Amino acid sequence: MFFSRAPVLPCSRALLFVLLLCSPAVVFSQQRWERNYGGAGDDYSRSVQQTTDGGYIVAGRTTSFGNISQVYLVKTNAFGDTLWTQNYGGTDYDYGYSVQQTSDGGYIVAGQTYSSGNANQVYLIKTNASGDTLWTRTYGGTAYDYGESVRQTQDGGYIVVGYTSSFGAGYNDVYLIKTNASGDTLWTRTYGGTNQDEGYSVQQTSDGGYIVAGFTTSFGNGDQVYLIKTNASGDTLWTRTYGGTNQDEGYSVQQTSDGGYIVAGYTSSFGNLSQVYLVKTNASGDTLWTRNYGGAGSDDGFSVQQTSDTGYVVAGFTTSFGNGYQVYLVKTNAAGDTLWTRTYGGTSYDVGWSVKQTSDGGYIVAGWTQSFGNWYQVYLIKTDANGNVGVEVSPSHQSRVTSYGVFPNPFTSFAVVPGHEADRFALYDISGRKVGTYRGDRIGEGLAAGVYFLAPAGGKARPVRIVKLR
């Protein structure tokens, strides 16, 4: 599956909301908001990380900016407000799949390019802290080569994994590239058999080697999760396959605090149709447990991280829960038992591709949305520790209004709270500043276009997000 992203421009119509309000009627411990970014074309994100300044860096692809399709990098502050965007590439198709902040404060991005090199090649971009290009590199042969995941290594260089049809034993082989700090190739390795084998996630391990996750059709039963452990030179120490007799694939791997590994992906061998698949192994890759999550529809996991409580958080998509096709977040304990699940999005097509726990104990999820903005847009979701994006209201407040709706929403002139026209409501902007108090029959009258939050004056009900268009 492929997805992209584009530069972000602030938009008053965005269905993105910052849920960090400063009103005494609202209490919070963690930031909670949603944002979308992009232009009039298709914009996708595949990777997110919290940065040292407390903000976020998001990588993907854009067709809204630049030529045809370009690598897209979006830098935000802690509230999801855009600080800068950059797009990279040439006159053909270029994609960004993975980003990490580097030790010098800049960023490393991996993906693929049709604009440079031979045919389709692995694409590596090094930027400074402002997203300005320091260097780019391409890797591969005369066929098709893809870069799916990149990490800075202990020596200051980089490790990139993807897959290649230029080299190796089969149709596609897992492709591992080790570079120095300047992106010059130190060594490359391929792994796999005579059929299709692909790598999607890489991490340097505590022994200085590497762990790679993907899928294989060369080994095991049909199409299985593929885990490869190497030494520091890329030489294979062991490989493992996981799954059943149908299609099972791994998209994300992390070494866990006990020295073993956690792998996330999807399975069509277990459960209903397609389900989120979580595999926990020991340090030798032997299975400790597996879990599948989802319902009667199609559910997939693309990203996993061990959390501070030694449990796990997984992001992907679901058609089993929520409205149609939604971002799916699953939180488990250390044994893989479900603690909670959440869905995010609207009534169209919304996918979560990357999740990280944030410094405040919450989570940041990146993907794309067709429900909000123009066609497909980059979708960024900041939750609290329980996966919530709503606003908590202090229980000490007494209220005459315990539930309410706003109509129309969005609105152009003013909105009404049916049944509560004579009641008083407080309105806040997205920074948490109170902008006024309104009767329920004249909500937002005279305000500038933007996103606001409405709560009963002196009330207890959950604040409602409202949007004024112009």
Strands (E), 248-344: 248-255, 261-267, 275-281, 287-293, 299-306, 312-318, 326-332, 338-344
3-state SS, one letter per residue, for 131-183: CCEEEEEEECCCCEEEEEEEEECCCCCEEEEEEECCCCCCCEEEEEEEECCCC
- Is residue 129 helix, strand or coil? coil
Q: Rounded to an integer, what distance in angstroms lies between the CA atom of residue 6 and that of residue 28?
A: 31
| pLDDT tens per residue, range 262-301 | 999 999 999 988 999 999 999 999 999 999 999 999 999 9
Q: Rounded to an integer, what distance in angstroms lies between the CA atom of residue 43 and that of residue 31?
A: 25
For residue 131, list its beta bridge partners. none
State residue 1's pLDDT score. 38
State residue 461's pLDDT score. 52
Nearest to 49 by CA among 316, 353, 334, 453: 353
CB 312 within 8 A of CB 262: yes
Query: What is the reported pTM?
Result: 0.80
Domains of the chain (ranges, CATH numbers): 17-393 (2.130.10.10), 395-470 (2.60.40)
Peptide bond between residue 410 and the one before it cis (omega within 30 degrees of 0): yes
For residue 278, list its beta bridge partners. 264, 291
Instruction: Give every residue of the chain whose pLDDT is below 70, as ranges.
Output: 1-29, 390-404, 430-433, 458-462, 470
Counting residues of the chain whose pLDDT is more than 90, the rounded percentage is: 71
N- to C-terminal Cα separation, the chain: 38
Handedness of CA 124, 230, 215, 48 (dihedral sign): negative
CB 274 within 8 A of CB 267: yes
